Amino acid sequence: MEEQTLIVLDSIAFQLNGTALAGRVHLEKEDAELCCAWETLLKKVETIASPKAVFRDCTVDAVSGDEVIVEGVALKSRVMAQQLGGRRRLFAYCATCGTETAALEDSLEPLERFWLEELRMELLRQAIGALHREISRRCRIPKLVGMAPGSGDADVWPLSEQSKLFNQLLKGRVTELIGVTLTESLLMLPYKSASGILFAAEHDFAACQLCHRRNCPSRRAEFDSKLWNRSRQDETVL
């Protein structure tokens, strides 16, 4: 079987909505000096930032009770096996805010560094959006859902699987192609990076539905006890 190549999105267009982002960082609009510093940082980030993503179209060889074999690589996740059901295709990916804004860090005050992290998060969001649109367009898939190692309760798809994603499904080329490195403790650098798999689906799914963590500011879906109970059983969800 012909091996699919890695597709790199390295010129992702982005827009930073200064008003919305100022609200997100609770900028004190009465403080002219702070507002000026905020505008200056926003312009610098707009000038140098370059969010990116890489993905690879992968063939699913087999799906069993608690693992999914993708091109000979065994991914350990009962939830993934259930959600994939009979599908034989998934997309391994990594997306990032990019490394370029690191050049700004040394000159920033602590508050500005906090702002920078928010701006990087927005860049990452837009990189992920561009990745979804590109896969949908190329492969004519109307709806994509995803999973990431370490998201949801610990056993949904363990973080330890991150190295399989980077080194095997993405061929060990993520650093070379988009600048994201994986540390020994399996953290991604830059921190505002995301990796995982995407696949076609008819229903919404997010690992947050299978996550007991309380008060998570990033939660995207309510905990779903029915889905969680089904995820403990040896059957497909579809």
Q: How far is the CB of 156 from ligand SF4 (least distance, A)?
A: 8
**Total number of residues that touch ligand SF4 (CB under 6 A):** 9
DSSP codes, 193-223: EEEEEEEE-SS---GGGG---SS-TT--S--
Cβ-based nearer residue to ligand SF4, 96 or 151: 151
Residue 162 binds to ligand SF4 (criterion: CB under 6 A): no
Cβ-based nearer residue to ligand SF4, 29 or 213: 213
Q: How far is the CB of 151 from ligand SF4 (least distance, A)?
A: 4
Among 221, 237, 218, CA closest to 77: 237
- C-alpha pair distances (Å), 74 with each of 88, 93, 127: 14, 17, 28
Residue 34 binds to ligand SF4 (criterion: CB under 6 A): no
Q: How far is the CB of 213 from ligand SF4 (least distance, A)?
A: 4
Give the tokens for residue 225. Answer: 């006890």
Sites for ligand SF4 among residues 207-236 (CB under 6 A) = 207-208, 211, 213, 216, 218-219
Task: Pick the binder of ligand SF4 from 50, 83, 151, 162 (CB under 6 A).
Answer: 151
46 contacts: CB under 8 Å, gap ≥ 6 = 16
At position 123, the amino acid (one-letter code) is L
Q: What is the dihedral of CA 203, 187, 164, 207, to 10 degrees?
A: -20
Neighbours of 141 (CB within 10 A): 16
Cβ-based nearer residue to ligand SF4, 60 or 211: 211
Report CA 204 to chain centroid distance, whole Å.
16
CA pair distance 158, 210, nearest whole angstrom: 13
Q: How far is the CB of 77 from ligand SF4 (least distance, A)?
A: 14
At position 90, the amino acid (one-letter code) is L
Cβ-based nearer residue to ligand SF4, 152 or 190: 152
Q: How far is the CB of 82 from ligand SF4 (least distance, A)?
A: 17
Q: Are 164 and 196 in contact (CB under 8 A)?
A: no
Cβ-based nearer residue to ligand SF4, 104 or 208: 208
Q: How far is the CB of 50 from ligand SF4 (least distance, A)?
A: 25
Q: How far is the CB of 212 from ligand SF4 (least distance, A)?
A: 8
CA pair distance 142, 136, nearest whole angstrom: 6
- Kindly indicate which of the ranges 43-51, 129-137, 157-165, 206-214 contains the residues binding ligand SF4, using the contact rule CB under 6 A: 206-214
Sites for ligand SF4 among residues 164-203 (CB under 6 A) = none
Give the tokens for residue 54. Answer: 């890489």
Binding site for ligand SF4 (CB under 6 A): 151-152, 207-208, 211, 213, 216, 218-219
